[in-house]
Structure 1
Amino acid sequence: MAVPKKKVSKARRDKRRSNNWKLDLPGMTKCPKCGEFVLSHRVCKACGYYDGKEVLNTETK
């Protein structure tokens, strides 16, 4: 059975564990209509287009 020969410090332990907690950014793409960053397979909140069709009416009064 494997047993550590020496005590592992908290700093060394935390450095080793740090790579497991990195978060990946969600899949972001640019909207072809307006150029804003949009989550993949979602309607663009800036212009209201998805797949070349207007889905949301984003006109301001």
Structure 2
Amino acid sequence: MALPKRRHSHSRTRMRRAHDALTKPSVGQCPECGEAKMRHQLCGGCGMYKGRSVIRLEEEIS
């Protein structure tokens, strides 16, 4: 395995780490109930995904 001969400078290390920042998750709105939800995820409020009911919630069962 290759080993570096010299250490990297702080500037070079920080330039490499410039792209490691975290991004906020993209949040959309459910078209059925209007609750905030993650994109491409099931809505936790109504159980809908892409216009169809995927799961039945306990509120609907009772």
- Distance apart, 1:25 and its partner CA: 2.0
- What is the TM-score normalised by the length of structure 2? 0.58
Cross-structure match for 1:53: 52
Cross-structure match for 2:43: 44
The answer for unaligned runs of 5 or more in structure 2 is 1-17
Aligned AA (2:51): G
How many residues of Structure 1 are paired with residues of Structure 2 in the alignment? 48
Q: Structure 1 residue 30 and structure 2 residue 29: aligned?
A: yes
Identity rate, percent: 36
Distance in 1, matches of 2:46 and 2:24, equals: 23
Distance in 1, matches of 2:24 and 2:35, equals: 16
CA offset digits 1:5-61 (Å, max 9, x no partner): xxxxxxxxxxxxxxx686432010000000000000000010000000000101423
- What is the TM-score normalised by the length of structure 1? 0.59
Aligned AA (2:32): K
